[in-house]
A and B are shown apart, each in its own frame.
Chain A
């Protein structure tokens, strides 16, 4: 509610700037013009939104799967830690943006390259957060498991204790992922695409349809914010024991 009020206030400031600032519409269109453009181009915007949303959703899904599996392998195997972890961390020095043109070259102008972008951009936060959670299982629980079961039951301990205990950490990773996945998809669209909100923004920009560009930006922002809150709410529902009493996981 407060957020909506702030938004309304900002829109007023924007409209006032147009009225009193004498800004040309090709630099900053009025909120009204953007709203009109949104209305007139609703059909086209919807089509592009579906494309971008699909890229983000599939990128999130694949990135989460890949990141989750990587974290599990790292958590389970000491050898994997020794061989993969330094490379994984070093690879973060490469800006994902820089390889976007390569992805488009390899995977084409279609969905593939955008999904790959979104996937790559969320892969590290998901992996790092989940792995961190897996490494920090409270010692008391591990001791209890050690007394209950023989040492060769490592997988059972991982499955019944370490993985559930790390889910809140994975959830933090997924919240970050929800915030950055749209960046990946739009970036992929900027580098080369024939559909999607990012493509529409560039397209409108080059034709001086700044009001349409703002409309696309508004839809993209709404999509990203909606995604974040949906993921956040979903995670809270899935992990009621954590959101209700965060201190219980600190017990050791």
Chain B
């Protein structure tokens, strides 16, 4: 059996990849959610996108993921000028684990869908990293919500893509589990270009190297000043608290 001290060699594919989105436009039911929206993600950085529900955050994420919903358009490419297709991994609020597969088979789903050889060794190592070494053969419905989301994180890492898009991945969890998983995500996603959507300002302040606020209609993006210190930040940190108050003021003005 593997121990938690197992060393994972850094994946070779991990060259930081920036993301450029220009002139994104989303019209939904006759309503322009955003228009001429530009988004730049710095390669290898952790960015949080903060905004109220219904503002179009998830649609923006789907655009980046290549799941273009009807009524959305925009010019999207990586920092090397090539399309992002096949270089993005996603993690959603629902764990989306397949209930008929055990955890290990869920983690290796991507390779089977692509018809590639499955690297079970690496999957097991990732399960050790997320603390699920003993649950590799368990069915998802026997796991708690936090464990299921850990499995989803392992599946996301297994994809080994330079860009990781996360849509409120921790919002369904209880507070303590959330704090632990946030720290784990920051640790394991280091070196990748991450965009995490959240409506929780504190989560954005805890995790984001850069924080973008999305609001208004049509929605616009504004960058908040970067906070000192490396994520995951302590929610009790005075700088975090001050920034939290500032964000609340800003959101209230718009609402």
Contact = CB atoms under 8 A, between A and B. Distances in A.
B77 interface: no
Contacts of B141: 241, 244-245, 248
B113 A164 contact: no
B100 A148 contact: no
Nearest to A251: B94
A241 B100 contact: yes
Interface in B9-35: none
Interface stretch (A4-12, A92-100, A150-158): A150-158
Contacts of B94: 140, 251-252
Interface residues of B, number: 26
B110 A149 contact: yes
B99 interface: yes
Interface stretch (B40-48, B82-90, B177-185, B218-226): B82-90
Contacts of B98: 141, 160-161, 164-165
B109 interface: yes
A146 interface: yes
Interface residues of A, number: 28
A84 B240 CA distance: 62
Contact of A148 (B99, B109, B140): B109
B65 interface: yes
A141 to B, nearest CB: 6
B92 interface: yes
B99 A242 contact: yes
A140 B88 CA distance: 16
B89 A156 contact: no
Nearest to B93: A140
A162 to B, nearest CB: 11
A145 interface: yes
A241 B114 CA distance: 25
B2 interface: no
Given A141-B96, A242-B99, A245-B99, A160 B109 contact: yes
B159 A148 contact: yes
Interface string A125-144: 00000000000000011011
Nearest to A245: B141
Which 10 residue pairs of A and B lie closest in terms of their CB atoms, listed nearest first? A149-B113, A148-B110, A245-B141, A248-B99, A241-B99, A147-B90, A149-B114, A241-B100, A156-B113, A140-B96
Interface of A: 140-141, 143-150, 153, 156-157, 160-161, 164-165, 167, 239-242, 244-245, 248-249, 251-252
9 contacts: A146-B67, A148-B109, A153-B113, A160-B109, A160-B113, A161-B113, A241-B141, A245-B141, A248-B140
